[in-house]
Amino acid sequence: MIINDMYERMGITPETTKKGQEICDLLRERFALIDQTAEYNQLKVLNAFRDCKVSEACLYGTTGYGYNDIGRDTLEDVYAHIFNTEAALVRPQITCGTHALALALMSNLRPGDELLSPVGKPYDTLEEVIGIRESKGSLKEYGISYRQVDLLEDSSFDYEKIKDAINDKTRLVTIQRSKGYQTRKTFSVEEIGKLIAFVKDIKPDVICMVDNCYGEFVETVEPTDVGADMVVGSLIKNPGGGLAPIGGYIAGRKDCIENAAYRLTSPGLGKEVGASLGILKDFYQGLFLAPTVVASALKTSIFAANLFEKAGFKVVPDSNESRHDIIQAITLGNEERVCAFCEGIQATAPVDSFVTPEPWDMPGYDAKVIMAAGAFVSGSSIELSADGPIKPPFAVYFQGGLTWPHGKAGILKAYQTMADRGLL
Ligand SMILES: *Cc1c(COP(=O)(O)O)cnc(C)c1O
């Protein structure tokens, strides 16, 4: 068959291709459900474009101060429609996800306020934002305290302790949807809704913010549909659809977004300034593609979970678990396997397929890390990418896949590279 020839040109044997096909046959129903979610979300995005009257003029940008940037303002309106919120801030001047989260926190908290995380430790980079690890300019330096309630053993919320932790000073509650690179499970939007309802029942005026990174368009609902006051994320992950080359967003209550805008630019200026330069077409088109791109990434991770679980490896989430983000972890058990896996992913990348990734001492990490990324946008993790810290249990984390056929090829090549070296 001609398709086998194509795989063989990538060094993937007919035997491996056949294994992959058997897995695909088993996953047909599940993939159909993912396609249904993508269909719903595509219509959600399309209706937002229509309702906001996105026009050709919106695709061009402004320079200088960026007053009356119709494309920028309309895009923010589109985001607000999609996330079912009063307002949104979507800007290339928001440099990454961490920046968007820091902005949402720093602009909505004041000295004397307290921040509460009822879902355990937040994403690594937020530790310095909050001041859990000492850092210049942290919330702690500005007199904003932090409290954390860890999850119970089974990743569920510790409602008793959360109730005790909410006090007069509690102003903002931060909930991270995706597990990121921790071992807990990722929360469904429904679970997040229950937690928010519980918090608001105790203290109605508390701001509930959700770190939405890696979660956008995985379900048909978003946290702002179930009571969140703000959702925050990165445009080089899900909602950028692989096309946005930079950026972050915050969608939410009007007063929260105003606070964020005044902090991003300046008091008095807020959303009125911030030229979009020539970036808007990519923001719009990426958002338009995002629902199907997220579906491709989801299929890729479910496919990998099934292939590697069958080969005897521990996978998180497992082969049957429901999905609430696009991250997949596979415990490979030794350095050779982690390297072989990452080399396979790299070898099928559209960019830099000919380079061999090697473990290196990355700043901020306590062990060497190997990374596979052959991306159009540097560091983009909606594109197929993998990384593995070289330390027990030798797990590799991967995510993304702009198209499902590419994701499938990448996973098969990772598997093949391990097979070729006798590591399976
Ligand atoms: C990626 C991520 C962040 C930080 O985003 P960066 O763009 O890497 O700064 C924060 N929280 C979660 C859950 C993430 O996945």
Q: pLDDT digits over 315-360, tens only?
A: 999 999 999 999 999 999 999 999 999 999 999 999 999 999 999 9
| Closest to 290 (Cα-Cα) out of 379, 180, 400, 408 | 400
pLDDT of residue 198 exceeding 90, the answer is: yes
In the chain, CATH 3.40.640.10 covers 63-278
> Which of 94, 124, 125, 187 to probe ligand 1 with, by most ligand atoms within 8 A of CB?
125
Tell me what pLDDT residue 194 has. 98
Q: How many CB atoms lie within 10 A of CB 380?
A: 22
Tell me what pLDDT residue 282 has. 98
Atom index in ligand 1 nearest the CA of residue 177 equals 13
Q: Is the peptide bond before 393 cis (omega within 30 degrees of 0)?
A: yes
Tell me what pLDDT residue 23 has. 98
**Type of residue at 93:** Q
Tell me what pLDDT residue 180 has. 79
Q: How far is the CA of 5 from the centre of ligand 1 (A)?
A: 39
Torsion sign, CA atoms 335, 394, 315, 376? negative
pLDDT over 70 for what percent of the chain?
Answer: 100
Give, in order, the Cα–Cα distances in Å from 17 to each of 7, 26, 58: 7, 15, 45
In the chain, CATH 3.90.1150.60 covers 2-42+288-420
Q: How far is the CA of 244 from the centre of ligand 1 (A)?
A: 16
Q: pLDDT digits over 43-99, tens only?
A: 999 999 999 999 999 999 999 999 999 999 999 999 999 999 999 999 999 999 999
Q: pLDDT digits over 9-42, tens only?
A: 999 999 999 999 999 999 999 999 999 999 999 9
| Closest to 296 (Cα-Cα) out of 383, 189, 416 | 383
Alpha carbons 352 and 116: distance in angstroms, whole number: 42
Phi, psi of 60 (to 5 degrees): -95, 150
Quick check: 229 and 208 in contact, CB under 8 A?
yes
CATH: 3.40.640.10, 3.40.50.880, 3.30.360.10, 3.40.50.2000. Which one for 63-278? 3.40.640.10
Q: pLDDT digits over 98-131, tens only?
A: 999 999 999 999 999 999 999 999 998 999 999 9
Q: pLDDT digits over 245-288, tens only?
A: 999 999 999 999 999 999 999 999 999 999 999 999 999 999 99
Across the beta sheet with 314-316, the strand order is: 314-316, 328-331, 395-399, 385-389, 369-373
Residues with CB under 6 A from ligand 1: 96-98, 123, 125, 176, 178, 180, 211, 213-214, 234
Q: How far is the CA of 236 from the centre of ligand 1 (A)?
A: 10
Q: How far is the CA of 325 from the centre of ligand 1 (A)?
A: 13
CATH topology (fold) of 2-42+288-420: Aspartate Aminotransferase, domain 1 (3.90.1150)
Give, in order, the Cα–Cα distances in Å from 185 to each of 125, 376, 388: 19, 30, 19
Atom index in ligand 1 nearest the CA of residue 176 equals 13
Q: What is the mean pLDDT of the chain?
A: 96
Q: How far is the CA of 231 from the centre of ligand 1 (A)?
A: 13
pTM of the model: 0.97
Tell me what pLDDT residue 363 has. 74
In this prediction, residue 365 has a pLDDT band, given cuts at 50, 70 and 90, of confident
Tell me what pLDDT residue 364 has. 66
Average pLDDT rounded to a whole number, residues 386-393 = 93
Q: How far is the CA of 327 from the centre of ligand 1 (A)?
A: 12
Q: How far apart are the first and last CA of the chain?
A: 26
Atom index in ligand 1 nearest the CA of residue 236 equals 7
Tell me what pLDDT residue 161 has. 98
In this prediction, residue 366 has a pLDDT band, given cuts at 50, 70 and 90, of confident
Tell me what pLDDT residue 1 has. 66
Tell me what pLDDT residue 371 has. 95
Q: How far is the CA of 100 from the centre of ligand 1 (A)?
A: 9
> Which of 178, 211, 212, 294 to probe ligand 1 with, by most ligand atoms within 8 A of CB?
211
147-161, 172-186, 208-222: segment of lowest average pLDDT: 172-186
